[in-house]
């Protein structure tokens, strides 16, 4: 291995080396920090369901896995080093790293602060390359990360940092559409699904002052929904429960990644109502255009958030004491966490403690 002090940062991680195999310790070298970079000692890394899809190479057509693969894009850690040109961070600060770690910075989306839509393609935190299109990116299932300060977020170091980590993906994925459509007091908001994304959608919409209803196929989740702040809970597979709610919602956030019927939720929107999908089912979903035309409704997609909005989200969550509900595990339990996530046996996000690897 190349000496870290001269060529880069020696890093311990956990990788899968081909689809269907278990995680193994994986030593590699992060790049030597550049003038605008910070080096972060990772404390916590959340497990996102997309980690599972990519580790198992379940998206070969849209995002094929490149092995060895070190997942993790929900990262919180302490700044260990700063480059000479860094102004945003100092050693000892807490930093957050999300789904992307660079972009072209020149196209219209990048100039507008929505780097996730970079025309040239942003650099993903893992299972991708840096903007040179050669250097592989390895994620947060590791003890260190090196990133340009412009793609790291400042985090208030007080309180539950484990609960902060999932905000870097699940938090911004749900905050961005709620923020874009100005969800707030006086609005009736529905959240479809109560998993890792859904539980954040509930917390954020409640913090924004909306009247929140959770839709779920699992009656056992009603208690959790109300503990999270939801005002109402509806069993979505009950036609009797759904029918009186037609044409009554201003906004619906659909977080479900399993196949399901969009029509039953589009029909709940009132005039000019908006439904945003952030989950990605494995197969295309059919719906009738009349569901949109009758009522001037909108069906919209949303992808995480850019750097300014992600920082705004973190600041909002710190101010309103919003964190993800997590179960903290050690790296040896990653396979167990994957199995349980697939079975929806987690309330509501696994987070890996990376401090003693």
Give me the pLDDT at residue 287, please. Answer: 86
Give me the pLDDT at residue 257, please. Answer: 86
Give me the pLDDT at residue 6, please. Answer: 46
State pLDDT tens for residues 7-29: 788 999 999 999 989 999 999 99
**Domain residue extents for the chain:** 4-169+306-318+325-353, 170-301
Taking alpha carbons only, the member of 14, 63, 310, 273 closest to residue 167 is 310
Domain 4-169+306-318+325-353 -> CATH class = alpha beta
State pLDDT tens for residues 302-335: 999 999 999 999 999 999 999 999 999 999 999 9
pLDDT confidence tier of residue 282, bands split at 50, 70 and 90: confident
Instruction: Answer whether 207's CB lies under 8 Å from 187's CB.
Output: no
Give me the pLDDT at residue 2, please. Answer: 31
- In this structure, the number of other CB atoms found within 10 A of the CB of residue 60 comes to 9
Name the architecture of domain 170-301.
3-Layer(aba) Sandwich (3.40)
State pLDDT tens for residues 207-244: 999 999 999 999 999 999 999 999 999 999 999 999 99
Q: Is 4-169+306-318+325-353's fold the same as 170-301's?
A: no
Which residues are CB-neighbours of 261 under 8 A, at least 6 positions away?
none
Give me the pLDDT at residue 240, please. Answer: 96
Taking alpha carbons only, the member of 251, 130, 280 closest to residue 191 is 251
State pLDDT tens for residues 120-140: 999 999 999 999 999 999 999
State pLDDT tens for residues 146-193: 999 999 999 987 788 999 999 999 999 999 999 999 999 999 999 999
3-state secondary structure 98-114: CCEEECCCCCHHHHCCC
Global pTM reads 0.94
pLDDT value at 1 more than 60 = no
């Amino acid at each position: 291995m190349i000496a870290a002090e001269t060529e880069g940062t020696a890093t311990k991680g956990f990788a899968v080396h081909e689809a269907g195999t278990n995680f193994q310790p994986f030593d590699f070298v992060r790049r030597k920090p550049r003038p605008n970079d910070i080096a972060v000692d990772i404390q916590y890394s959340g497990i996102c369901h997309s980690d599972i899809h990519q580790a198992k190479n379940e998206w070969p057509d849209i995002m094929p896995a490149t092995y060895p693969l070190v997942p993790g894009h929900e990262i919180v850690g302490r700044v260990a080093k700063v480059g000479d040109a860094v102004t945003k961070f100092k050693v000892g600060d807490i930093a957050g790293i999300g789904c992307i770690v660079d972009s072209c910075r020149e196209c219209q989306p990048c100039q507008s602060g929505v780097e996730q839509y970079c025309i040239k393609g942003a650099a993903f935190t893992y299972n991708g390359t840096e903007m040179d299109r050669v250097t592989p990116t390895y994620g947060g299932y590791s003890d260190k990360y090196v990133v340009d300060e412009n793609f790291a977020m400042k985090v208030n170091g007080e309180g539950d940092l484990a609960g902060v980590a999932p905000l870097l993906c699940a938090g911004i994925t749900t905050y961005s559409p709620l923020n874009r459509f100005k969800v707030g007091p006086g609005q009736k908001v529905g959240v479809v699904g109560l998993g890792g994304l859904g539980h954040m959608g509930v917390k954020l919409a409640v913090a924004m002052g909306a009247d929140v209803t959770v839709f779920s196929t699992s009656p056992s989740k009603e208690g959790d929904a109300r503990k999270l702040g939801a005002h109402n809970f509806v069993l979505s597979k009950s036609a009797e429960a759904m029918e009186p709610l037609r044409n009554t919602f201003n906004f619906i956030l659909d977080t479900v990644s399993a196949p399901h019927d969009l029509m039953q939720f589009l029909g709940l929107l009132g005039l000019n109502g908006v439904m945003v999908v952030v989950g990605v089912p494995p197969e295309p979903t059919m719906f009738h255009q009349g569901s949109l035309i009758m009522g001037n409704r909108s069906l919209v997609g949303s992808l995480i958030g850019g750097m300014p909005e992600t920082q705004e989200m973190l600041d909002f969550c710190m101010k309103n004491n919003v964190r993800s509900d997590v179960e903290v595990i050690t790296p040896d339990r990653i396979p167990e966490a994957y199995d349980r996530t697939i079975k929806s046996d987690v309330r509501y996000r696994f987070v890996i403690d990376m401090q003693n690897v």
